[in-house]
Structure 1
Amino acid sequence: MSHKHLVHGSRHAILHHLGWVVAALCLLLLCVMALAVSIGAVSIPLDVVSGVVANRLVPDLVPVTWSAGRENIVWEVRLPRVILGAIIGASLALVGAALQSVTRNPLADPHLLGISSGAALGAIIVLLHTGLFLGPVTVPLFAFAGALATTALVVVIANTVQATNASRLVLTGVAVSFIITSAGSLGIFLGDPRAAHTVIFWMLGGLGLAQWSQLPYPLAALFLCGAWLLLQASQFNAMTLGDESATTLGVPASRFRMVVFVVCAILTGTAVAFSGVISFVGLMIPHVVRMIVGGDYRRVLPLTALVGAIFLILADLVARLVIPPQDVPIGIITGLAGGIFFIALMWRNARMG
């Protein structure tokens, strides 16, 4: 049998098994979403949840046996929140996986390059200084602009000092991140102390402000940017080998890395704009997936997106249940989970020598 046939057979086997795993994770995602809508300060049976959703999608499909209050909780409060959680979780996890490949840094995530810090600075400016002069879209718009502006600054500085390789680009991102974070802290210090608690909650992340009218924006970013990242799986595999090997395999390493940064900035900026700064998802989830399925990005990227979506929905569920009816900032839950995960990972590695 020729080498070409062997490669084709191997690719077919990978895609076949991947299809089954993706289908199983999609089913698990739907189950977790239904559970998250059902559980809360007011518990709502799963049959009521499915009935409300069915009747909203196809009017009068099933007889109405529930109150208007319960329907409002399911459709207007919890379902948009759960869907936003899935979108944000998938987006941040994809960004982490992509950045870890092109920087060859297992600790790379949206925070590393200052993207999240830029988005936070945009929100701080609005919440403490300018006010909502464009209406409810002001915070998401400024957060998104802050993320893109920070990414542009990292790219310009990197090109100016010719820091286009992975390690120097990471150092540039870290330096810019410190500067932007300091500017954000100064903004909080100079702002109205009475409004500071709102900023702090926003900086620790949360899904409580989710609305149906806002969902198309992060969903469109995930669909377009996520699809592009998935199509680049073979290039990501090449980039994990280093710039020289990637170039030998036909991947223009420096240019590809810059494009990935811009795509990741769009995804992160949109995510942070609607959920605040949520840490550790982009750092932890790719590690979990690679531990289970290996380092092939044809598997890593789609599974990372699904596992990230499931994880963030569950983290938000915990955030809602810890001190009901108050919401704990979701960044506290993800940070705690991430810290425990990496301590366990280091302990496991130490035991294995």
Structure 2
Amino acid sequence: MLSVQIPGLDLHIGDQVKAYINTLTKPAGSLGRLEELALRLAEITGEPFPEVSPPGVIVFAADHGIVQEGVSAFPQEVTVQMVSNLVQGGAGINVFARQIGAKFKVVDVGVAAEVPKEGVAHQKIRYGTGNFLKEKAMTTKEAQQALQIGYSEARELIEQGVKCLIVGEVGIGNTTSSSAVLASLTHTDPAEVVGFGSGISNEQVQHKIAVVKQALLFHQPKPQDAIDILSKVGGLEMAAMAGAMLAAAESRIPILLDGFICTVSACLAKLIAPLSADYMIASHHSVEPGYQRAVSFLGKMPLIHLQMRLGEGTGAAVAFPLLQSAVSMVKEMATFEQAGVSTQKANELIEN
């Protein structure tokens, strides 16, 4: 089992930054959640004036045997095509990663086909998971291996100097696995968390719910055991994403969460190491019905709501400039004293 040592937030630095923010030339609290974000980034990094650039983006790719049950709008062959598009720079996450100047990496942990040789970190554990309606998705050893791979890949980016981690995923069938994982760890009826995923019909959604319910009855995953859940109904990329988050938290690197699949993977990371959740920031509100359940499990509130559900890390990359705004506010905004604003005028400004 992956062992990590995650430090607590630096609350002393947080107190200092909170007091400093209240001296800036603005009414107290007038920049709303940007002030909260600046405070949290200081507590995460242990730095009063933290850096969040450059960000690092890791996209983990894997396939899911559960697609054999007709739960997706697309065939499994699409996963390898998506990986090829990522390598060529044409995917949504490529666009947004370039926009924010991110270091970018694609990792194959379980695609059910051979992926391009160039531009991919080849860490394939197996060719897709098993059909968890009929068998375990993976072995315990494979789940642990995927966690370790995610951890190691994130460590490599951190050693290259990234100051914020975004993890994404590609893999047909992954919303079904994520729904099964979430229902397991939150004791939730699958009907409340299963959604349209890649764009299936209402009839297919009902079938997808039935598949998840039957699988959970068959496997009986242990709600407090992340490895047990992963091995029975999870995904290789989900395990890798959780491992990457643990590496970031251990190194005091903020983790900017993407949508549904990423947030469910974050729940698994929290099960493994509860303090890791302190290093997570929810970026955007996914329209997948299970998202609210997952983000509530983490105790987070997303920064934006753009009705996104693409995955890949796209929502997190789009929200990343908000982190830049928060740290720039603290670094560059003048205090009342620096601006030559009198205490009386400052108090009047604060009161108004």
TM-score normalised by the chain length of structure 2: 0.27
Structure with bigger strand share is: 2
Structure with bigger helix share is: 1
